[in-house]
Amino acid sequence: MASSDDITPSQDGRSPFLNLPAEIHFLIGGLLEEESLAKLARTSQEVRSFYEQQLYQGKNSTNIVKALMWGAEHDSLPAMRNAHERGANLDTQASIEPRRDNASLALATAFQVAMRDSNREATQWLWDHGVLVDIPGQPARNMCRCYHRFDINSSSLHIALCNGNLWAARLILRLPHTALEAFNFSQQFDARTIVSMAVTAAFRYRRPSALNMVLANPTIRATINVVKPEGTFTPLYLVLRVSHRYHPHSLAKRVLRILVRAGASLGPYPPNSFEWIAGLSPIMAELETGSLGTTVRMLLDVGCDPNGGLRPDDPVPVPPGWRSPLHFFIHPEHETRYDRPFWHMNPGPWPLLTLRRFQVIHMRESIGYLVRKGASLDITDFRGCSPLDNALSYMEPFLAPRRRLAGYRLVKLLLKNVTPEGISMESRHRYIREVPLFWNPSNHGTGPDDDNDNDNSNDITPSPAAPRRIDTVLPSLRSSTDYKDDENNKVSKDNEHGDT
């Protein structure tokens, strides 16, 4: 066997391998497998010239398709042109390496690969050569960024939006016939609607223009309130859920306004939504999930009903278990007798008890904001009680002075912010008639954490001459430690039981 010393380079400096006869190269190409032959052909242009015919022999052979997919993935127009000239079908769907960790196989066309990788030149070249946007009956697989435990089928429009390629999505939606075909294909194979996918793209890439672009199409805009069986939520609900995941509230407000202007419903969620939100108004669904601040205000700012979908004069009977947003915050006193609601607590010093301070302040601010936006104090829940009834229940004579004082402050907060449509004259007269029996603020103020604000024309202050029942204990109340949190203060608890 000849050693490496016996192989002498040619006088022209070329490798001895290149000086082999063409017949030998032909035999080598016939013996090697496709992968090995492709690796050998990539070593130099001269070697490629020997094996190119064998690499791409036959119309639409495996290597031609691989060359086409490689060109689409790496934005190489020469590779795509070469494959196309040798007979490659531009609409062929082939398997490629998936980008999702939990996927074993990805299927796509060259057009879908170019869109996924945002290769504009390759996408435009394929579009100019008349490729199909979607192959009928053959959706792409595992080509988007959606998380799922199983394989995901998706349309080309879904791939473009999910991967942030708004240019390609605009290219598809630009022509009416391609937009209609892409929409129908998406309705058939995508688990989520195109509007929901555009909402996700608006948050993921900080580009609300994606939503504007999609909603400009009338056919797509008509599905803005549609819930697909696999999706189980509307685009509006998706905005409220996604806004909690470290996204700027300004972006969430902008996306929400775009949806509402396009016709998104602010009424109860459809019956085929998630089981626990079906039939609930957006505000009540947010309150049920613990969102006491920003999302509730965003909904009120865009015109969501502050009463949860019902009005005090609605002839429709109240559904079983129904309550308004104000009922959610203000429970009857007997339901909280052994627990203090957040609006009843002292926020405490800022360096300490930060979470409790946040909850207390947001609870009170949310109550005031609801009332200012038109929440009714007369609307009744399934038990026939109004929010004003629940607030006045904290001022019963047999309760501890601290609890009655908190009830007075709550009623004052409600009446200070209520709109003329939010309370009837009968309720106003009832307040004037009943509150002075429990508490006269003209002599003693409203306690240590009063707002010190000037009462306006909406405030109803009881007459100073009205009878009082708890005046004898009020001076001591103002300086008592009873205003502080009494979780670890046994003296406050003893005083409360004694007063009761």
Predicted confidence at residue 482, as pLDDT, reads 38
Tell me how long the chain is.
500
Q: What is the pTM of this model?
A: 0.71
pLDDT tens figures, 393-437 = 888 888 888 888 888 888 888 988 999 888 888 887 777 776 665
pLDDT-above-90 percentage for the chain: 26
Among candidate residues 51, 58, 103, the one with its CA nearest the CA of residue 83: 58
Q: How far apart are CA 409 and CA 450, in angstroms?
A: 8
pLDDT tens figures, 172-215 = 999 999 999 999 999 999 988 999 999 999 999 999 999 999 99
CB 409 within 8 A of CB 394: no
Predicted confidence at residue 203, as pLDDT, reads 92
CB 162 within 8 A of CB 145: yes
Q: How far apart are CA 66 and CA 74, in angstroms?
A: 12
Which of 462 and 201 is assigned the larger pLDDT? 201
Segments making up each domain of the chain, as ranges: 14-55, 308-500
* Cα-Cα-Cα-Cα dihedral sign, residues 218, 224, 229, 231: positive
* Cα-Cα-Cα-Cα dihedral sign, residues 386, 388, 390, 396: negative
* Cα-Cα-Cα-Cα dihedral sign, residues 362, 364, 365, 370: positive
C-alpha torsion 109→115→116→121, nearest 10: 110
Residues with Cβ within 8 Å of residue 110, at least 6 apart in sequence: 68, 69, 71, 72, 80, 90, 92, 122, 126, 131
Strands (E), 71-124: 94-96, 106-108
- List, as one string, the DSSP characters of 152-181: -EE-HHHHHHHTT-HHHHHHHHHSHHHHHH
